[in-house]
Amino acid sequence: MNAIRYRKGYKYQLSETYSLRIGIEPPQNIHTEFISLTKLGLLTIQMGYAWDGPSGCTVDTRSSMRGALVHDALYQLMRREKLDRRLREVADEIAHSIWIQDGMYRWRAWLWKRALNKFAGFAADPRNDPMIYNAP
Protein backbone atom coordinates (compact mmCIF):
# COMPACT_ATOMS: atom_id res chain seq x y z
CA MET A 1 0.00 0.00 0.00
CA ASN A 2 1.26 3.50 -0.82
CA ALA A 3 1.28 6.21 1.83
CA ILE A 4 -0.07 9.70 1.21
CA ARG A 5 1.59 12.97 2.19
CA TYR A 6 -0.47 16.00 3.22
CA ARG A 7 -0.47 19.26 5.16
CA LYS A 8 -3.05 20.45 7.71
CA GLY A 9 -4.55 23.84 8.45
CA TYR A 10 -6.32 24.93 5.29
CA LYS A 11 -10.00 25.94 5.06
CA TYR A 12 -10.36 27.24 1.51
CA GLN A 13 -9.27 26.21 -1.96
CA LEU A 14 -9.15 28.57 -4.93
CA SER A 15 -11.51 27.38 -7.68
CA GLU A 16 -10.07 29.65 -10.40
CA THR A 17 -6.64 31.13 -11.03
CA TYR A 18 -6.39 34.68 -9.66
CA SER A 19 -3.98 37.45 -10.77
CA LEU A 20 -3.33 40.91 -9.39
CA ARG A 21 -0.64 43.54 -9.91
CA ILE A 22 0.89 44.38 -6.52
CA GLY A 23 3.54 46.77 -5.22
CA ILE A 24 6.27 44.13 -4.91
CA GLU A 25 8.63 43.72 -7.86
CA PRO A 26 11.27 41.06 -7.10
CA PRO A 27 14.65 41.16 -8.87
CA GLN A 28 13.79 37.86 -10.62
CA ASN A 29 10.55 36.12 -11.53
CA ILE A 30 9.39 33.75 -8.79
CA HIS A 31 7.56 30.53 -9.60
CA THR A 32 6.29 27.82 -7.27
CA GLU A 33 3.68 25.13 -7.85
CA PHE A 34 0.77 27.47 -7.01
CA ILE A 35 2.21 31.01 -6.85
CA SER A 36 4.06 33.21 -9.34
CA LEU A 37 5.32 36.76 -8.91
CA THR A 38 6.90 38.50 -11.88
CA LYS A 39 9.54 41.23 -11.91
CA LEU A 40 6.73 43.57 -12.99
CA GLY A 41 4.74 42.81 -9.83
CA LEU A 42 2.11 40.48 -11.30
CA LEU A 43 1.06 37.99 -8.62
CA THR A 44 -0.72 34.87 -9.92
CA ILE A 45 -2.23 32.30 -7.59
CA GLN A 46 -3.19 29.09 -9.35
CA MET A 47 -6.48 27.23 -9.14
CA GLY A 48 -6.24 24.65 -6.36
CA TYR A 49 -4.21 26.84 -4.00
CA ALA A 50 -5.29 26.21 -0.40
CA TRP A 51 -5.21 28.84 2.35
CA ASP A 52 -6.66 29.31 5.83
CA GLY A 53 -8.53 32.57 5.27
CA PRO A 54 -8.19 35.41 7.76
CA SER A 55 -6.29 34.28 10.87
CA GLY A 56 -6.69 35.06 14.54
CA CYS A 57 -9.75 36.13 16.50
CA THR A 58 -11.87 37.13 13.55
CA VAL A 59 -14.78 36.17 11.37
CA ASP A 60 -14.23 35.34 7.71
CA THR A 61 -16.29 37.78 5.65
CA ARG A 62 -16.55 38.55 1.94
CA SER A 63 -14.50 41.72 2.45
CA SER A 64 -11.67 39.80 4.12
CA MET A 65 -11.17 36.84 1.78
CA ARG A 66 -9.24 38.34 -1.15
CA GLY A 67 -6.82 40.24 1.08
CA ALA A 68 -6.24 37.11 3.18
CA LEU A 69 -5.59 35.06 0.02
CA VAL A 70 -2.99 37.49 -1.33
CA HIS A 71 -1.41 37.93 2.12
CA ASP A 72 -1.15 34.17 2.69
CA ALA A 73 0.44 33.67 -0.74
CA LEU A 74 3.04 36.40 -0.11
CA TYR A 75 3.87 35.04 3.34
CA GLN A 76 4.21 31.56 1.84
CA LEU A 77 6.77 32.91 -0.63
CA MET A 78 8.64 34.36 2.36
CA ARG A 79 8.48 31.07 4.29
CA ARG A 80 9.82 29.24 1.24
CA GLU A 81 12.60 31.87 1.01
CA LYS A 82 11.55 32.96 -2.48
CA LEU A 83 10.69 36.50 -1.31
CA ASP A 84 12.68 38.64 1.12
CA ARG A 85 11.09 38.65 4.60
CA ARG A 86 11.89 42.34 4.92
CA LEU A 87 8.88 42.87 2.63
CA ARG A 88 6.52 41.58 5.33
CA GLU A 89 5.08 45.00 6.20
CA VAL A 90 4.61 45.72 2.49
CA ALA A 91 2.59 42.49 2.24
CA ASP A 92 0.56 43.62 5.27
CA GLU A 93 -0.11 46.97 3.58
CA ILE A 94 -1.20 45.24 0.35
CA ALA A 95 -3.71 43.15 2.31
CA HIS A 96 -4.95 46.31 4.07
CA SER A 97 -5.44 48.06 0.75
CA ILE A 98 -7.39 45.12 -0.68
CA TRP A 99 -9.64 44.95 2.41
CA ILE A 100 -10.52 48.63 1.97
CA GLN A 101 -11.19 48.11 -1.75
CA ASP A 102 -13.45 45.16 -0.92
CA GLY A 103 -15.58 47.22 1.47
CA MET A 104 -14.17 46.38 4.88
CA TYR A 105 -14.72 49.08 7.49
CA ARG A 106 -11.58 51.21 7.62
CA TRP A 107 -11.21 50.83 11.41
CA ARG A 108 -11.41 47.03 11.08
CA ALA A 109 -8.85 46.96 8.25
CA TRP A 110 -6.54 49.22 10.27
CA LEU A 111 -6.82 46.95 13.34
CA TRP A 112 -6.06 43.89 11.25
CA LYS A 113 -3.03 45.52 9.67
CA ARG A 114 -1.73 46.54 13.10
CA ALA A 115 -2.21 42.98 14.35
CA LEU A 116 -0.32 41.60 11.33
CA ASN A 117 2.53 44.10 11.83
CA LYS A 118 2.83 43.19 15.49
CA PHE A 119 2.05 39.48 15.68
CA ALA A 120 2.36 37.78 12.27
CA GLY A 121 6.14 37.73 11.85
CA PHE A 122 6.30 34.05 12.78
CA ALA A 123 4.09 33.19 9.78
CA ALA A 124 6.77 34.44 7.35
CA ASP A 125 9.54 32.45 9.06
CA PRO A 126 10.77 29.39 7.10
CA ARG A 127 10.79 27.36 10.33
CA ASN A 128 7.00 27.65 10.40
CA ASP A 129 6.26 26.12 7.01
CA PRO A 130 3.40 23.65 7.59
CA MET A 131 4.61 20.20 8.50
CA ILE A 132 4.14 17.34 6.03
CA TYR A 133 2.36 14.28 7.45
CA ASN A 134 2.28 10.72 6.17
CA ALA A 135 -0.61 8.28 6.30
CA PRO A 136 -1.04 5.48 7.00
In this structure, is residue 136 part of a structural domain? no
In this structure, is residue 56 part of a structural domain? no
User: Which pairs with CB-CB distance under 8 Å and at least 24 residues apart come from 39-45?
Assistant: 43/19, 43/70, 43/73, 43/74, 44/17, 44/18, 44/19, 45/14, 45/17, 45/18, 45/19, 45/69, 45/70, 45/73
In this structure, is residue 28 part of a structural domain? yes
The Cβ-side half-sphere exposure at 91, using a 13 Å CA radius, reads 26
Task: State residue 136's pLDDT score.
Answer: 87
Q: Is the dihedral of CA 37, 123, 55, 130 positive or negative?
A: positive
In this structure, is residue 4 part of a structural domain? no
The domain in which residue 69 lies consists of 10-49+62-122
| Contact present, 112 and 58 (Cβ < 8 Å) | yes
In this structure, is residue 42 part of a structural domain? yes
Number of domains in the chain: 1
In this structure, is residue 98 part of a structural domain? yes
Task: State residue 104's pLDDT score.
Answer: 96
| Cis ω for the linkage preceding 130 (within 30 of 0) | no
- pLDDT tens over the chain, length 136 residues: 688 998 898 999 999 999 999 999 999 999 999 999 999 999 999 999 999 888 777 789 999 999 999 999 999 999 999 999 999 999 999 999 999 999 999 999 999 999 999 999 999 999 998 888 999 8
Task: State residue 70's pLDDT score.
Answer: 98
In this structure, is residue 2 part of a structural domain? no
Task: State residue 1's pLDDT score.
Answer: 65
